[in-house]
Structure 1
Amino acid sequence: MEKLMSVCKPSQVSWLALLAVLGCASALPVDVDPVCTAGGHAKYRLAFTGKWSQTAFPKQYPLFRPPAQWSPIIAVTHSSDYHIWRRNEYASTGVREFTEKGEAWTLMKEVESAGEKIQSVYGIFSAPAITSGTGQNSADFEVFARHSLLSFIVRIVPSPDWFVGVDSLNLCEGDQWKEQLSLDLYPRDAGTDSGFTFSSPNFATIPQDTVTEITSSFPSHPANSFYYPRLKHLPPIARVTVTKLKGNHIMNLPKDLSQSNLIPIGNEIESLTNTPLDCEVSTWSPWGLCKGKCGQTGTKHRTRYISLQPANDGVACPNLEDEKECEPDNCV
């Protein structure tokens, strides 16, 4: 770096202009999306499919109060200088409230503010909540060359602060609009709550952590609802397909985010993965009293209980009782 600065030290002209003249600009980090030169606008349909089933994710699968489900989708079309969320960066207050409580008002105000101040957001749209882990919904939207990126976020319900989503999916390639894109989605942690399980009580992360991807081994704690040490990778918990629409038709989007009518999206349902779940048992209890006749060898017992039943051909539970020989108690 010192050598670079000695060659590229600016004088009377601007620093970046001088670097460009000297050919040194390429040495600087660049994170810029290719410029979209497609003409006009394009209309798309976002189709979201939940793949959060009890066979794919058997550990602590939420069956009631509430059962596994998905929040409404909050989606934004924008330019490269805006992000609703980013991996390895801190979640905004709006993202925190949405992922922890499902409250979207602050997040919507953040998006609106970005659109007004720096004109980086073209539009915001939504799709209804899904009342099961494997349901479907969809929504139509449009993009322009200046705002060709799509981002969205969906809360995993119930969860501490877990979500799925996409950050800055570019629907443009050069002077062409892409016809279709499909992505598998995996759970992410917003870094604002330290709960390990779907039903964990509020436990704020202090100081706040960055947004991270949850994997089969991270967080590496047996209590974690997504902890499957036998798996190299988690199966996808959801899938999104974005398809370019023909003609000018765009359906009417629901104004009320609580609407739950689902929109069929063709043959998007795929076979569900059967994730093996090994039996988990507690630690052994203390040994009980030694029972037997004085002068003879007695026996004492200890027990343990099943904390997690096996599923999908996972390892069966071991013995729950144990005994060993001993000298009877209370003998003189």
Structure 2
Amino acid sequence: MAPAQPSVISSWFSSHCLTHLACVTLTFSPPLTDPTQMMSSEHLTCGWLQQLLVVLLKLCLTCAGPLRPLNRTECTAKGTASYILVFTGHWSPQAFPKQYPLFRPPAQWSKLIAVSHNHFFRLWEEGAPASAGVQNFAELGVTVELMKAAKEARKRRMVGAMYRTAGIPNGIGHSSTELLMHPRSPLLSLMVKMIPSPDWFIGIDSLNLCEGSKWKQEVTIDLQPYDAGTDSGFTFSSPNFPTSPPENITKITSQMPNHPANSFYYPRLKELPPIATIKITQQSRSHDRQTSMSNHILPNSVSPRRFSETPLDCEVSLWSSWGLCLGPCSRGGVRHRTRYILLRPANAGTPCPELEEQAECVPHSCMKLQ
């Protein structure tokens, strides 16, 4: 017989605590006959039973522990399911023109880390602090701590299997791997680091591939970038500047962080175009199939989805101070000021305004020519 889950034991134990306490109260109440003795003994017995009640109640709550919701739908599928997971990067200068990294290093994707698990494990979670493993992966692309935590959870039967795909040396490209999902671990979580970036990644948190007694046939998810909350950089090439104290994992949008220096700040867009896509397709497990798809880079004939180009408006600096007036103040003398381009326009964005301006001199700014 399989051991009961902690959540079931906790719920049963908590629901029976008051019944047991009532039995204890009745059992320890001694019979008394003398009225005087009865009155004094009643006070002693009441006080003693109250203390016992408090002690036993604390014991019950301690043993029961935190209650977990019991309304989760368990996977009742018979047997395992085999899937092909395809990761497609859409990180292009057309879709994301602002500060697009062209060299040292150019835009690219790290290896993909995927874990199958149950409801008692989280690889990462939006709105929660990043673990040490998530921080190391999001900042440096190092997988040691992340895989160590997954292996420890696997010993406790919270994780089923771990998978990897090869990295992609460009912002646009594909990688894939084979998944074998078990009813005990029907959830899938994954992460891919954006290179270069301070601590940005894309991922999926606890995707359930099982619906009751059936495995899903196909799932496609458009992905957006996330900030791990451990580095305070705004741009792809920002130097390492740790966030102290660390913040929670948050989704990066076209408006947040609300700062012009942010590489994903596109105030004209309601939302960012998908920077990557995950497609998971169930496959029939034939015994005569010999070629494994694991870590296989798909051929270039598989073209990525096409998205509309993102317009990038020109950004210019503030005006410099006015220069000295050249020429006589009373006969057409002029003064100048300038500004420079911070960000050149792209994809039919607003063109740059004039970078130089002149105005008539005023008497106090005149410079007499010798």
TM-score > 0.5 by shorter chain: yes
Corresponding residue for residue 286 of structure 1: 321
Corresponding residue for residue 271 of structure 1: 306
Corresponding residue for residue 182 of structure 1: 220
Quote how far apart the aligned CAs of 1:61 are: 0.2
Quote how far apart the aligned CAs of 1:293 are: 2.3
Query: Matched residue of 1:316: which SS?
Result: coil
Q: Which runs of 5+ in 1 are unaligned?
A: 1-7, 15-27, 255-260
Q: Distance in 1 between matches of 2:86 and 2:299?
A: 9
Quote how far apart the aligned CAs of 1:272 are: 3.2
Corresponding residue for residue 155 of structure 1: 193
Q: Distance in 1 between matches of 2:242 and 2:71?
A: 34
Amino acid aligned to 1:46: L
Corresponding residue for residue 219 of structure 1: 257
Q: Distance in 2 between matches of 1:74 and 1:190?
A: 16
Quote how far apart the aligned CAs of 1:314 are: 0.5
Quote how far apart the aligned CAs of 1:294 are: 5.6
Match of 1:210 among 235, 243, 248: 248
Q: 1:32 to 1:46 in 2, by over 3 A?
A: farther
Percent identity of the aligned residues? 49
What are the within-5 Å matches in structure 2 for residues 59-74 of structure 1?
A: 59-74=98-113
What are the within-5 Å matches in structure 2 for residues 101-250 of structure 1?
A: 101-116=140-155, 118-248=156-286, 249=289
Q: 1:31 to 1:133 in 2, by over 3 A?
A: farther
| Aligned residues between the structures | 305
Q: TM-score, normalised by structure 2?
A: 0.78
Q: 1:286 to 1:294 in 2, by over 3 A?
A: closer
Q: Which runs of 5+ in 2 are unaligned?
A: 1-14, 22-66
Quote how far apart the aligned CAs of 1:262 are: 1.4
Q: Is the 8 A contact 1:87 1:211 kept in 2?
A: yes
Q: Distance in 1 between matches of 2:184 and 2:142?
A: 30
Quote how far apart the aligned CAs of 1:92 are: 0.5
Q: Distance in 2 between matches of 1:278 and 1:131?
A: 28
**Could you tell which deviates more after superposition, 129-138 or 240-249?**
240-249
Q: 1:237 to 1:33 in 2, by over 3 A?
A: farther
Amino acid aligned to 1:126: R
Match of 1:251 among 286, 292, 306: 292
Corresponding residue for residue 123 of structure 2: 84
Amino acid aligned to 2:18: S
Amino acid aligned to 1:246: S
Corresponding residue for residue 51 of structure 1: 90
Quote how far apart the aligned CAs of 1:105 are: 1.0
Query: Matched residue of 2:325: which SS?
Result: coil
Q: Distance in 1 between matches of 2:305 and 2:367?
A: 65
Query: Matched residue of 1:11: which SS?
Result: helix
Match of 2:18 among 7, 11, 32: 11
Q: Is the 8 A contact 1:49 1:268 kept in 2?
A: no
- Describe the superposition over 1:187-229 as per-residue Cα deviations: whole angstroms up to 9, x where unpaired: 0001110100000000101111011000000000000000000
1:317 aligns with 2:352: yes
Amino acid aligned to 1:301: H
The structure with the largest alpha-carbon Rg is 2
Amino acid aligned to 1:316: P
Amino acid aligned to 1:298: G
1:308 aligns with 2:343: yes
Quote how far apart the aligned CAs of 1:270 are: 1.4
Q: TM-score, normalised by structure 1?
A: 0.87
Query: Matched residue of 2:322: which SS?
Result: coil
Quote how far apart the aligned CAs of 1:252 are: 6.2
The CA RMSD measured in Å over matched residues stands at 2.2
Quote how far apart the aligned CAs of 1:266 are: 7.6
Corresponding residue for residue 27 of structure 2: none
Q: Distance in 1 between matches of 2:69 and 2:235?
A: 39
- Describe the superposition over 1:136-181 as per-residue Cα deviations: whole angstroms up to 9, x where unpaired: 0100010111101111000001000000010011110010011000
Q: Distance in 2 between matches of 1:266 and 1:150?
A: 28
- Describe the superposition over 1:1-31 as per-residue Cα deviations: whole angstroms up to 9, x where unpaired: xxxxxxx9972459xxxxxxxxxxxxx9948
**Could you tell which deviates more after superposition, 293-302 or 148-157?**
293-302
Q: 1:71 to 1:278 in 2, by over 3 A?
A: same
Corresponding residue for residue 75 of structure 2: 36
